[in-house]
Amino acid sequence: MSMKICVVVPTYNEAQNLPDLVRRLFDEDIPGLEILVVDDASPDGTGDLADSLAQQHPGQFHVLHRKGKLGLASAYRDGFREALRLGATVIAQIDADLSHPPEHVVKLIAPILEGKADVVIASRYVSGGSADPDWPLHRKALSKGGNIYARLVTGMPINDSTSGFRCFRSEVLEKDGLIDRPKCRGFGFQAEMAYHCWREGFRIQEVPYVFHDREKGSSKISMNIVVEALVRLPQLRLSRKYSSNRVP
């Protein structure tokens, strides 16, 4: 069976970055590669730009338009469902702001194609990975500390559970209700997804990468999103909604 690899890209006001991201992804010449942009009615014209790119890459580029800014988590849910509908066998996710190097997608999908993993997470916090060296100390502490916190309160053995750069075998996202289990609307969604994949017994592998902060556009992270994750993660450990055949 031929492989179809779909890269899901949520966008909101990313017109400055999207063309470069798309070019770099297609430059990798990955067999079966398709790109799916999920745009939340960006006022800067990202959606129209994505439609233009779809015309330039018929059959390889898809656009899912949403009616407004509905949040990162719901963008991924809708994107995953659309990628599955398109027949993707491997589904990757990447930020549109170029903080995740598009050239690294090959390393993400390799363990899945080789049958060694079901989920692959690009990690800043394993040997060979790092966060942006130009980050101020408080942001480094927030990112690193947040991941230590997530590991401690949930018990999952993942070093960078908040990474938004990852890849799934389609069977993972087809697991009954898994996509809908996370409750966080922001980046905490990533940690929740990692947790549920781990609890289901899927094979998770982390591969190192170097995160570089965006050069164009503005960050969408807010303190409300951080607080949401801090409150939600302990609730996962307390939950008992798992059958006996899952990882304890």
Residue 230 tokens, joined: 């801090």
In this structure, what DSSP letter does residue 179 have?
G
Q: What strand order describes the sheet that includes 119-123?
A: 61-65, 33-39, 5-11, 90-93, 166-169, 119-123, 204-208
Query: 3-state SS of the chain: helix, strand, coil percent to 5?
Result: 40, 15, 45
Q: Mean pLDDT over residues 146-171, rounded?
A: 93
**Phi, psi values for residue 33, rounded to 5°:** -75, 130
Provide the residue type at 95 as one letter. D
Q: What is the pLDDT of residue 135?
A: 83
Cβ atoms of residues 126 and 173 within 8 Å: no
Quote the pLDDT of residue 240.
47
More confident residue, 145 or 234: 145
Would you identify the CATH topology of the domain 5-238?
Answer: Spore Coat Polysaccharide Biosynthesis Protein SpsA; Chain A (3.90.550)
- Cα–Cα distances (Å) from 176 to 17, 67, 148, 190, 200, in that order, read 35, 27, 29, 18, 11
DSSP characters over 198-232: HHTT--EEEEE-B----SSS-----HHHHHHHHHH
In whole angstroms, how far apart are CA 123 and each of 97, 167, 170, 201, 213? 17, 12, 21, 20, 15
Q: Quote the tokens at residue 54.
A: 């779809």
Give the domain ranges of the chain: 5-238
pLDDT digits (tens, 9 = 90+) for 52-109: 999 999 999 999 999 999 989 999 999 999 999 999 999 999 999 999 999 999 999 9
Q: Looking at the predicted structure, is the pLDDT value of residue 2 above 90?
A: no
| Predicted local confidence at residue 12, as pLDDT | 95
pLDDT of residue 136: 83
**Predicted local distance difference test score (pLDDT) of residue 248:** 40
Task: Pick 223 or 138 by higher pLDDT.
Answer: 138
- Inform me whether the pLDDT recorded for 217 exceeds 90: no
